[in-house]
Structure 1
Amino acid sequence: MTTAIQHGAVDAARDSRRMGRGFWIVAAISFLYLFAVSAPSPLYGIYAAQWHFSPTTLTAVFGVYALTLLGTMLLAGSLSDALGRRPVIAAALVVQAVTMVLFLFADNVGWLYAARLTQGCATGLVTAAVSAALVDLQPANRPGLAPLVNATVPAAGLAVGALSSGALVRYAPAPTRLIYALLLAGFVALIVILLTMVPETVTQRHRARLGSRVGVERPLRRAFLATVPVLVSVWALSGLYLSLGPSLALTMEHSHNALLGGAVIFLLCGCGAVTGIVMRGSAPRRAMLVGCALLGTGVLITVASVALSVPALLYVGTVVSGCGFGAGFLGTFRTLAGLAEPERRSELITAIYVVAYLSFSVPGVIAGILTTRIGLHDTAIGYGLVVAALAWIALPATARHCYRC
């Protein structure tokens, strides 16, 4: 009897270690995915110079990614519940590896469209599966770890990806190729590691159904509408930074150093990730109110930097805005998810991401069109004022309608 108990304890410890190892491997997949999403941003200026396309085309390329991601997530977001986490994540990694090949051999804007479209499909396919796998594999003694990783690791990936890409463009050979070759090797390695070292957590398989339900319960509609301004402002700002942010920084600095372009994205997303960690224990309503105030203030500082042509203020505004980004989205997500009934929570989360990714893509494309017509300077000022206004509007709406959080 004693021997059987000892064997059971050894098996349980081995399973626990395997689950813990699998958790961090999936976290690494999430990180590298978002690293790859921001990696092209510092290169857009080089592409535009080589292939002679306008800011409208640049933001359209970015918009294709976001809209394809949203469409794929709505269509195939629940596949891992039916087929298992590992097969879906592995398939998404294969698609992402194909994306890196497309970027690697791109020699005109058509290849760029194809690469971003494929990347949107890969990210849309993996997002829900990775989020669910992190919850499944979360260490039993650390119950808050999965939500924290889900909230902060993607932002950290965006931050490090942009900065690393900018550094390679500035200091390494083959600036439009090397980053993608390294990422391709990373994704191929992760496919092997996933299939050999990560346990499958879905044991009950069933027939796959395409399509995700989207909805907001009637009692939550007022609170949901109250969060829309901050959702739109947070994601519209991040979309602008990832598409036109490097161009704005280089124009203000009168420089061609791509590292500066990557730095503004690094500051925005990195500060967002750090703020998410710092405020993880705060009440959702408080996080959201702090996020609105910081975002509104930071964007106004950024607008002042553009209007007065003071580059240093751009970085200050980006840091403050980044803190607002992290706190605002964390607070919004936790506010709504906490109010929803468990059986309707996935529908509400999908609705949140619909608003988020539309805000991520559509305003950026509009900004690209305006940049072509009135210039980057005036577009950045107008865009920033709209985002700041939305953030300040969200403050009283949050205070009034999210009092239950």
Structure 2
Amino acid sequence: MSSILGTIDAPSTHRRRTLPAGLTLTGTALAFTSLYLAAGVLTPLLVLYRQQWNFAPSLLTLAFAVYAIGFLAAVLTLGSLSDHVGRRPVLIGALVIQLASNVLFLVAPDVSWVIAGRIVQGVASGAATAAFTAALVELAPPNKKRLGTVLGSVGLTGGLGAGSLLAGLAIQLTPRANSIVFAVLVVLTILGAVVIALSPETMPRTAGALRSMVPRVAIPPTARAEFAAAAPVVAAVWMLAGLSGGLAPSMVRSVFHLDSGLLNGVAGFIAPAVSAIVGLAFARIEARRAMIIGIYASLAGALGIIGGVFAGSLAVMIIGQAVAGVGFGASFTAALRLIFPLAAAHQRAGVVGGIYVVSYVAFGLPIVIEGQLVGPLGEVPAVVCYTALTVLLTLISLAAQARITRRTRG
């Protein structure tokens, strides 16, 4: 009998110690936020790098956009891996990669290191985002699962906005902003990895890990009409997000002739901050209605940005960015709600892959082309052409949504 009890009791003596539930959830949310804080701080810091190293505008937009390459490559291959090997191994691995990118930015002697760091940073975010958002829901109390969803949403867009604002403030207050910002992020990333290491595993290991790493991008026939109607505005809002992150901060100096790190940070902060709030507020609004509101807001925001550039008014441009943030928060969330229910459970990975491809190609590729056009056209005409394309895309989606609405009513 004693030997049986000893066998039963033995595993408890080797049970891995974990943090209390509340601390685990809080620490995991902060670790996730640190990923997007790191992505956001580059928004005003890229302007600082250009001032220090005097590189071409095309390299600035390239350094911003290559993040999308790393993110897409990682999310399409590693996005579902934590469903098979567990959340903790994927999250710890991603945070180690994130730590490497922070160190690259901390010691970067020129823009080539920054470009490499952005790719590595994109890989870390792409590998970790799905695992973090799933873990936050799983770690939330049973009667508060929505809290996990909220923490995931706010951590992503809120982290981008807060990172830009805080880095802009650091640039305004100290000549060592880059060192201070990334030293803090190195510490946050290490602490985040420690929290994950001391957290309970919420997903048991299952077979199929290698198979899950084969990229899947497929839209089932049942969802194609909704996907085609939403894709143009999804591309438009991600292009506007790229404008806010990759172009607006540098325009503070080059177009509006204001030398202010804080204003650079505000220009990168406003759109993701507004989209975070709107995404939560619109969660209870009927999806089709939210989509139409988002399309109109994206259209108005793009026109406001163009108006601000032509009028030479930074305030008008920032208001346009804020309205575009409304468009992002409303229409992107609505697109997911309209498309996902039309796909069976086994088809949703392919749908997610399709949405990611549209989003991050729109986020990265057009802004690189815009950077190439600055030389022959000038900065203002290049920005206007870029923003005018988002207007065209929103109008295409508006017409497609009208067709679907008529067909549904008929």
TM-score of the two chains, using structure 2 as the length reference: 0.90
**Which has the higher mean CA deviation after the structures are superposed, 273-282 or 132-141?**
132-141
Pairing 1:34-53 to 2, within 5 Å after superposition: 34-53=36-55
**Which has the higher mean CA deviation after the structures are superposed, 298-307 or 343-352?**
343-352
- Report SS of the residue matched to 2:258: coil
| Structure 1: segments with no counterpart, 5+ residues | 1-16
Q: Which amino acid in the other structure matches residue 213 of structure 1? A: R
Instruction: State the alpha-carbon separation in 1 of the partners of residues 42 and 120 from structure 2.
Output: 14
Shift of 1:348: 0.8
Do residues 319 (structure 1) and 334 (structure 2) align? Answer: no
Conserved? CA contact 1:151–1:330, under 8 Å: no
Partner of 1:3: none
* 253, 267, 270: which one aligns with 2:273: 270
Instruction: State the alpha-carbon separation in 1 of the partners of residues 370 and 265 from structure 2.
Output: 19
Conserved? CA contact 1:148–1:280, under 8 Å: no
Do residues 369 (structure 1) and 387 (structure 2) align? Answer: no
* 286, 298, 302: which one aligns with 1:299: 302
Instruction: State the alpha-carbon separation in 1 of the partners of residues 137 and 346 from structure 2.
Output: 17
Conserved? CA contact 1:65–1:120, under 8 Å: yes
Partner of 2:252: 249
Shift of 1:404: 6.6
- Report SS of the residue matched to 1:212: coil
The alignment-based identity, stated in percent, is 34
* 178, 181, 192: which one aligns with 2:180: 178
Instruction: State the alpha-carbon separation in 2 of the partners of residues 353 and 146 from structure 1.
Output: 22
- Report SS of the residue matched to 2:202: coil
Instruction: State the alpha-carbon separation in 2 of the partners of residues 148 and 187 from structure 1.
Output: 21
Conserved? CA contact 2:222–2:343, under 8 Å: no
Partner of 2:290: 287
**Which has the higher mean CA deviation after the structures are superposed, 226-235 or 116-125?**
116-125
Shift of 1:20: 5.0
- Report SS of the residue matched to 2:143: coil
Partner of 2:6: none
Instruction: State the alpha-carbon separation in 2 of the partners of residues 271 and 400 from structure 1.
Output: 29
Q: Which amino acid in the other structure matches residue 186 of structure 2? A: L
Change (3 A) 1:28 1:400: farther
Task: Supply the RMSD in Å over aligned alpha carbons.
Answer: 2.0
Pairing 1:22-37 to 2, within 5 Å after superposition: 22-37=24-39
* 169, 192, 198: which one aligns with 1:190: 192
Q: Which amino acid in the other structure matches residue 133 of structure 2? A: S
Conserved? CA contact 2:37–2:159, under 8 Å: yes
Instruction: State the alpha-carbon separation in 1 of the partners of residues 379 and 341 from structure 2.
Output: 40
Conserved? CA contact 1:77–1:212, under 8 Å: no
Shift of 1:375: 1.6
Partner of 1:202: 203
Tell me the matched-pair count: 389
| Structure 2: segments with no counterpart, 5+ residues | 1-18
Conserved? CA contact 1:89–1:130, under 8 Å: yes
Q: Which amino acid in the other structure matches residue 303 of structure 2? A: L
Instruction: State the alpha-carbon separation in 1 of the partners of residues 236 and 208 from structure 2.
Output: 39
Do residues 136 (structure 1) and 143 (structure 2) align? Answer: no
Q: Which amino acid in the other structure matches residue 324 of structure 1? A: G
Do residues 383 (structure 1) and 389 (structure 2) align? Answer: no
Partner of 2:233: 230
Q: Which amino acid in the other structure matches residue 203 of structure 2? A: V
Shift of 1:149: 3.3
Conserved? CA contact 2:31–2:193, under 8 Å: no
Partner of 1:216: 219
Change (3 A) 1:32 1:370: same
Shift of 1:151: 3.1
Do residues 393 (structure 1) and 396 (structure 2) align? Answer: yes
